[in-house]
């Protein structure tokens, strides 16, 4: 039985996993943009620049998912719903 059939409740109609996809996409895009700018600021050979790009990308990704999301926001990536 629905009490208010004219009210839209996003949690019930919108798939929950899409929020994780949106968040991961934003983190990937921002991490790549930051790492590209950081790698571009060094004047090194392309091989070393690729290592700087990959390291900065990984660092940004880990900072978001471990420090910000895990410690500050206290939201676990995988949690048991039962």
pLDDT value of position 57: 92
State the Cα angle at 42 between 41 and 43, rounded to 5°: 120
Q: Given this model, what pLDDT does residue 20 score?
A: 83
Higher per-residue pLDDT: 66 or 29 = 29
Q: Can you give the pTM of this predicted structure?
A: 0.66
Mean pLDDT computed over 25-33: 93
Which pLDDT band holds residue 9 (cuts at 50, 70, 90)? Answer: low
Which residues are within 8 A (CB) of 54 and not within 5 positions of it... i.e. 6 or more apart?
35
C-alpha distances in Å from residue 72, one per residue of 15, 19, 43, 60, 66: 25, 19, 35, 15, 9
Rounded Cα distance, 53 and 35, in Å: 5
Nearest of 60, 20, 67 to residue 36 by alpha carbon:
60
The pLDDT of residue 33: 93
């Amino acid at each position: 039985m629905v009490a208010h059939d004219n009210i839209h409740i996003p949690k019930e109609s919108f798939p929950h996993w899409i929020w994780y996809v949106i968040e991961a996409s934003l983190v990937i895009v921002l991490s790549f943009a930051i790492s590209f700018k950081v790698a571009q600021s060094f004047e090194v050979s392309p091989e070393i620049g690729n290592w700087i790009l990959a390291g900065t990308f990984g660092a940004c990704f880990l900072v978001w998912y471990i420090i910000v999301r895990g410690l500050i926001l206290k939201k676990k990536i995988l949690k048991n719903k039962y």
